[in-house]
Amino acid sequence: MEHNTSANPTLRDIYDRLGPRNQSVKDVLKLLTDRGVKASRAGIYQTIHGRSQRREVVEAFLEVAEAEFTRRRQAEERTRQLAASE
């Protein structure tokens, strides 16, 4: 898995950083459904791969990715704290 190191990262780059078999599309679909926005898994993937620019999907994906990266940072910090307390 290669990451784009250009000055213009894409949604696909973010998706790739989430790792294989991540739950981001499922989480985006749930978020959009909860907001009353109709979307499909295929439509979300089209947006991630740059074939669509649907604003609601882009925003939902960025929210989900940001929450996941925050969760991972917090888990890493908690792990360091617990390891240091022993």
Residues 44-81 have pLDDT tens digits of 999 999 999 999 999 999 999 999 999 999 999 999 99
Is 22 in contact with 42 (CB distance < 8 Å)? no
Note the pLDDT of residue 1.
47
The widest CA-to-CA distance across the chain, in whole angstroms, is 50
- Angle at alpha carbon of residue 24, lines to 22 and 25, rounded to 5°: 110
User: pTM (2 decimals)?
Assistant: 0.85
Interatomic CA distance for residues 86 and 81, integer angstroms:
9
Interatomic CA distance for residues 78 and 75, integer angstroms:
5
Interatomic CA distance for residues 61 and 44, integer angstroms:
8
